[in-house]
Amino acid sequence: MPMTDAAWVGLLLVVMLGLGTAAQAQSSQANCLQRCSATLGCGDGAVCASIYDNCMNSCRNGSGAAAPDGWIVLVLSEPDFAAGIAHGFTSKDAAIQEALTVCRRNGGADCKVVWSDVNTCMGFVDSLNKRPWIWSAAGGGSRSQAVANALLECRKRGGDNCLVRNTPCSDDDARFPSPFEAASRAAIVDPKTVGTWELPVGNGRWVWQIDPRGTYQFHSETGDGAKHFGSFASNGKVWELHTSTGDIDGGSYTIQAPDLFIATGKLGTGNWRRVSSAP
């Protein structure tokens, strides 16, 4: 029976749609493989190899159109106030092993997995050096949402000076520390610490700019070119900052009069004088 013109048109459309779908699939897989290849520059370590292998397998299995799963794992050794966090791993087991390793490296003798999730962000918050250790971890669709959820839970548990420790997301690169949410509304900042502060050092000075939204910037004017930035929190008793590269500093402080910020940290006690009320 001869085919009608309408039938020929219908068959042609089916073939064209099929070819288009196949071409899209090939293009999607090629893009996926290209994204995986970008990890080759991370070196020869086990973390890099795990990321690359899982990425390639995901592409070959036809899931190249979607990013591979990313796991976040939090490990704590509560008696030692030690924590280990892994993010960006496509294997839960690999993430657990990395977090355990970090926890032990940080001095933990009783490291245990306390929180894990996939394809999310996590806020990890604790009440500084309070026994028993009050901490909380919560998920969210963004860093700021996860932090807000974790801060709320920390306060419910009795934390009176809850500070943000870390805010990883599943798609953060496993090779690097997770960045903090810029200007997070969930940050706790004592209004008296907001502004630009200076500390005379040698023939120059250090400058510390604290933003009311929970971020800071630091730079040295002593000729060494030192500078860093990140997340900041203060609550009238203690202060804490996390640099964008993962370092942490903090301690107690007092504000004397309106323009003297006496802060104790890793380098000792510094008498910071206010330069401006604006950061």
Question: Tell me, what's the pLDDT at 203?
Answer: 92
Beta partners for residue 162, in sequence order: 127
Average pLDDT over the chain, rounded to whole?
77
For the chain, helix, strand, coil in percent to 5 are: 30, 35, 30
Confidence of residue 173 (pLDDT cuts 50, 70, 90): confident
Question: Tell me, what's the pLDDT at 246?
Answer: 65
- pLDDT over 70 (residue 239): yes
Residue 39 DSSP SS3:
helix
- The residue among 154 and 48 whose pLDDT is bigger is 154
Per-residue pLDDT tens digits for 24-58 = 444 455 555 555 544 444 444 554 555 556 666 66
Question: Tell me, what's the pLDDT at 120?
Answer: 93
110 vs 76: CA distance, rounded Å: 8
Domains of the chain (ranges, CATH numbers): 36-68 (no CATH), 71-166 (no CATH), 191-276 (2.40.128.370)
Question: Tell me, what's the pLDDT at 69?
Answer: 84
Least confident of 22-31, 144-153, 232-241: 22-31
Number of H helices, E strands in the chain: 4, 14
Structure tokens that stand for 15 in this block: 């073939």
Q: Percentage of residues in the chain with pLDDT exceeding 70?
A: 70
Per-residue pLDDT tens digits for 123-144 = 998 886 567 889 999 998 888 7
Confidence of residue 216 (pLDDT cuts 50, 70, 90): confident
State the number of CA atoms in the 13 A half-sphere of 176 facing the CB.
Answer: 11
Question: Tell me, what's the pLDDT at 11?
Answer: 32
